[in-house]
Amino acid sequence: MLHIKCPHCGMRSQNEFAYGGDASVKRPELNKEISDLEWDNFVYLRKSLRGKHLELWQHISGCRQWFKVQRDTATHEIFKTLKANEDI
């Protein structure tokens, strides 16, 4: 079982968190004209990377805040957790 350090609450069991997906995906610029294919790619297309990856998680059974986790998807080692508005 993983233990994840919430940047707001501290170290907690994985059971308290929900995975939220890839944190590196950037939403298209507001009011910018984009094609259906670009929108489709933004909504559905995700890389399935092996190795160090930046993810979104929510502390669903705690403070309910979203935050970022830098984790190795192969070993599950967690390198860093950040508040949602922080960058590595």
The DSSP letter of residue 14 is G
Nearer of residues 7 and 25 to Zn ion, judged by Cβ: 7
* Beta bridge pairs of residue 21: 56
- Amino acid identity of 10? G
Nearer of residues 2 and 9 to Zn ion, judged by Cβ: 9
With contacts defined by CB under 5 A, how many residues of the chain interact with Zn ion?
Answer: 6
Contact 10, 41 (CB under 8 A): no
Instruction: Tell me how far apart the alpha carbons of residues 17 and 24 are, in angstroms, rounded to a whole number.
Output: 19
- Residue window 33-62: x/- pattern of binding to Zn ion, with contact defined by CB under 5 A: --------------------------x--x
Residue ranges binding Zn ion (CB under 5 A): 6, 8-9, 59, 62-63
